[in-house]
Structure 1
């Protein structure tokens, strides 16, 4: 399992690389130094990569919670990626960005 010490010590390389946590959760370290949480899952026999947010905005504990929430939705046959997209679209409509 991943620790805060490992996350803070992770340095960017020439190509993006990742640090694995558990249950398909990992942190991608980009060449520019940004760190992004991702979760690999399968939904309806298709491989998906869910983007859970960036470090340090999304902490290790919060990334694990988001992963667990996504797993529950998948078990209920709800696509977490489509649900996130719909939630974002509703937010844009409220802000008046769509007519």
Structure 2
């Protein structure tokens, strides 16, 4: 039986987690905290497993069904959806790490250097940046 959006909104948390199926392997896992997780259940290498399709309400019913269909197509093509999800997540983490490193030091058009370290940030004026560069150039060979 397919779920309907108004049914999903009406699901109440209980003392134990429970599942409400939508069909073709897609189900909504309702937790005691009230959190709701979309999951796709499938068999791979003879074992039953599940992969996340997102968190309700950030991922709605239609989007969860689209993700389910994409996972079913992967299975038909001989690919494990969990491997795809892991690779996607690793690529996202790598992109975030590159973004953090890339934005840690910023040099603007006037020559001012902005430095951001975690939650701390400071800016050196163009003249202070030149002084720092001269200092680093002067100490480059010292102690090596």
TM-score, normalised to structure 2's length? 0.64
1:61 pairs with 2:80: no
Over alpha carbons, which structure has the higher Rg?
2
Aligned to 1:87: 88
Higher relative contact order (CA 8 A, sep 6+): 1
**Partner residue of 1:43?**
44
Where does residue 30 of structure 1 map in the other structure?
A: 31
Give the distance between the partners of 1:66 and 1:95, measured in 2 at CA.
23
Q: How far has the Cα of 1:20 moved from its partner?
A: 1.1
Question: Mind listing any 5+ residue stretches in structure 1 that lack a counterpart?
Answer: none
Which digits, 9 at most, give the CA deviation of each residue in 1:42-77, with x for residues without a partner? 122221111110101111001111000000001111
Q: After superposition, where does 1:2-21 map in structure 2 within 5 Å?
A: 2-21=3-22
Length, aligned pairs only: 97
User: Secondary structure of the residue that 1:95 maps to in structure 2?
Assistant: helix
User: Where in structure 1 do 4 or more consecutive aligned residues deviate above 3 Å?
Assistant: none
- Partners of 2:11 and 2:92 in 1: how far apart? 34
Unaligned runs of at least 5 residues, structure 2: 99-144
C-alpha distance in structure 1 between counterparts of 2:28 and 2:86, whole Å: 21
Q: CA RMSD in A?
A: 1.2
Secondary structure, counterpart of 1:73 in structure 2: helix
* CA deviation after TM superposition for structure 1 residue 96, in Å: 2.3
